Amino acid sequence: MSLDQVRFRPAELLLQAAQVGFADFRAQYTLRTWLFGWITRVVSQVIFFAMLGRLIGSDERTSFLLIGNAVAIASIEAFQVIDYTASERRAGTLPMMITAPASPLLGLVGRSSVLIAAAWVSSSLALVVAGWFFGIGLTPATVVMVVPAIGTVAFAAFGFGLFIAAVTVRLTRFSSFLSNLGYLSLLAFCGVQVPTDFWPAPIQHVTSVVPLTHGLRGVRELLADGPSIQAAAHLLLEVAVGVGWLAVGALLLRRHIEHGRRAGTLDSMA
Amino acid sequence: MRTVAAGFRFQLGLMPRNPSNWMILAAMPLQAVVFLSIITYAGREDLVGHAIIAPGVMAIWTMALFISGEIITQDREYGTLEPLIITPARLPLILLGRIGAVTLLSMLAIAESWAVAYFGFGLRPSLPHPEVFVAAVVATALAMAGTATMLSAILVHSRAARVYSNSLSYPLFLLGGVAVPVTLLPAWTQPVTHGVFLSWSTELLRASMTPMPVTSVPLRLMMILLLGGVSLAVGLMLFHVILRRLRSTGSVSAQ
């Protein structure tokens, strides 16, 4: 049987690639460095921004900043997909994935999907721990309700990150910069620090189609009023945003791969 | 002094060629927007000093960590550390010059932050004590250069340190009172904050932007320089130990 005749089940391939991605993640962090390094950092980041609410002298602002910055953590970590994709090219693994008979797109998405899980956990932990620091104790019932909502933000940010990764796949030297720029833009304009209507209308139009905006609104509504149709609608919109960017990113990546195959430039970098 | 100047000139020439050297300054205006929007939305334009100093100092620290802190590690990876070690010039002096260049450029972050406040938000920050502000900026730059020397030595010494150093930023920004005075932090953190030079720097920088008289300026400047000096001494001592070990084990270029 030739390699062309080999058939792969997409779910199986995704799962295997995700296992490889998890192994990569474990090489990057041990449980100790993840907990005392990364989690300490993200919790401190949330406390740092929420303290500005204390400086302003408003409990309402403190709570707004705390929730916004905790949920935004999901987008920082999910955005690392940009750097992950660039590193596949730098490490020379991208041409190998492309020449393999299985879909390189599924391989790429699967390998970096560990970031969705990591982002989800980091953001949820940051919300709970920073909330405890400020005396905003979340009940177990609230946590059970809010954690899945944070998952929608992690997923949507991953989709958008994959799109940026596809746009910039030939500019690997700039991957960290673009990842930071993307994340800082979300942090500034998507309702994390101030409501989105603070910004001029053109910025509001843009933020309505990028991750975090709707998901964060959904989380805020869940925390304020409990489950509601409105909160569910915001979260569904967040998922839709994620699916949209993931699809566009996957199409762009496929185009780059086909172009790179024809031009023989898959392993050249800028 | 000529060696320090040569290191300084070399780093200035090197920086524009690598995107990672200027990307922190390029992303800096967005960081300023984050802080300025918070105070503007709350109608607390009186806190503009906090919103300008915080992103500026964060960028300065980030450049110290990711550019100055990585100088020797990168030289080791590129294979340029060996020729540097066998030249008659003393490596720590070259390093000091290079770190000085990075630190000087990083000070642009405060100017950028000020420009975003002025042009982006229409805020008109006042500077009633310009001499205190300039003195605090200079002292902060010197202390940051000392701290960067120590960071560079620690990062060469231990791979595990890199994982933790990347995570050190926000805890340090909290303890350094970068955005919010340390007096708002829990009482048990206060003794620690006095040992972080950033807490002295940020307080003095912000104080220079308020109309009230600034007290104990010499003492506060001295504390910034003292804490920076201690870091510099520790860094130089660590380098001495590390270089002696690398020479004796023949592992200068080992990864």
Res A92 pLDDT > 80: no
Q: What is the pLDDT of residues A122-138, one digit of tens each?
A: 999 999 999 999 988 78
Quickly state the pLDDT bin for B159 (edges 50, 70, 90): low
- pLDDT (tens digit per residue) in A224-255: 998 999 999 999 999 999 999 999 998 998 88
Please indicate whether, in this complex, the C-beta atoms of B23 and A29 are within 8 angstroms of each other: no
* Alpha-carbon dihedral B243, B246, B251, B253, rounded to 10 degrees: 0
Q: Tell me the nearest-neighbour CA distance from A172 into chain B, angstroms.
A: 11
What is the distance between the alpha carbons of residues B190 and B127, in angstroms, rounded to a whole number?
28
The stretch B180-198 carries a mean pLDDT of 92
User: How far off is chain B from A43, nearest CA to CA, in Å?
Assistant: 9
CA nearest to A58 within chain B: B42
pLDDT reading at B253 higher than 80: no
For the record, the structure tokens of A269 come out as: 């970098």
The count of CB pairs under 8 A between chains A and B is: 99
From the list A168, A119, A159, the residue with the least C-alpha distance to A250 is: A159
For residue B156, which of B91, B85, B75, B249 has the smallest C-alpha distance? B75
Classify the complex by whether its ipTM is higher than 0.85, answering yes or no. yes
* Interior angle at CA B174, CA A187 and CA B98, nearest 5: 85
Which residues in chain B are closer than 8 Å to A33, comparing Cβ atoms? 160, 163-164
Would you say residue A270 has pLDDT above 50?
A: no
Distance CA A53, CA A130 (A): 13
Chain A residue with CA closest to B18: the answer is A173
Average pLDDT over residues B17-32: 86
- Farthest-apart Cα atoms in chain B, separation: 62
CA distances from B181 to A44, A49, A252, B115, B167 (A): 15, 13, 47, 23, 21
Asked if B163 and A29 come within 8 Å (Cβ–Cβ), the reply is yes
Best residue of A48, A76, A90 to probe chain B, by most B CBs closer than 10 Å = A48
Contact B166 A188 (CB under 8 A): no
- A25 touches B: beta carbon within 8 Å: no
Residue-level pLDDT at A127: 96
Among the partner-chain residues B37, B50, B173, the one whose CB lies closest to the CB of A198 is B37
Q: CA-to-CA distance for B255 and B240, rounded, in angstroms?
A: 19
> Distance from first CA to last CA of chain B, Å, rounded?
31
Q: Do A56 and B184 touch (CB under 8 A)?
A: no
The Cα B61–Cα B144 span in angstroms is 7
Interface membership of A185 toward B (CB under 8 Å):
yes
Chain A nearest CA to B227, separation (Å): 23
Give chain A positions within 8 Å (CB) of B37.
188, 193-194, 198
Closest-CA distance, A10 to chain B, in angstroms, reads 35
Of A36, A177, A187, the CB nearest to B23: A177
The minimal CB distance from B30 to the residues A42, A185, A194 is found for A185
Chain B residues with CB under 8 Å of A132 CB are none
Distance (Å) from the C-alpha of residue A158 to the closest C-alpha of chain B? 21
pLDDT score at B162: 67
Q: What is the pLDDT averaged over residues A256-268? A: 74
Q: Mutation target for B interface from A44, A47, A54, A79: give the one with most B CBs within 10 A.
A: A44
Q: Are A184 and B19 inside 8 Å of each other by CB?
A: no
Tokens 């919300």 correspond to A127
Which residue among A37, A44, A194 sits closest to B163, beta carbon to beta carbon? Answer: A37
Chain B CB within 8 Å of residue A196 CB? no
Nearest residue on chain A to B41, judged by CA atoms? A194
Q: pTM for the complete prediction?
A: 0.90
**Residue A44 confidence (pLDDT):** 95
Residues of B engaging A, defined by a Cβ cutoff of 8 Å = 19-20, 23, 26-27, 30-31, 33-35, 37-39, 41-42, 44, 47, 50, 160, 163-164, 166-171, 173-174, 178-181, 184-185
Q: For residue A101, what pLDDT is reported? A: 77
The reply to whether residue B179 touches residue A51, judged by beta carbons under 8 angstroms, is yes
pLDDT of A40 strictly over 50: yes
Q: CB of A194 within 8 Å of any CB in chain B?
A: yes
Q: Per-residue pLDDT tens for B208-249?
A: 999 999 999 999 999 999 999 999 999 989 888 888 887 788
Tokens of A246: 């993931």
The number of CA neighbours under 13 Å toward the Cβ of A167 is 13
Across the interface, do A54 and B166 touch by the CB < 8 Å criterion?
A: no
A207 to A29, A79, A159, A179: CA distances (angstroms) = 33, 16, 15, 17
* Contact criterion met (CB < 8 Å) for A194 and B41: yes
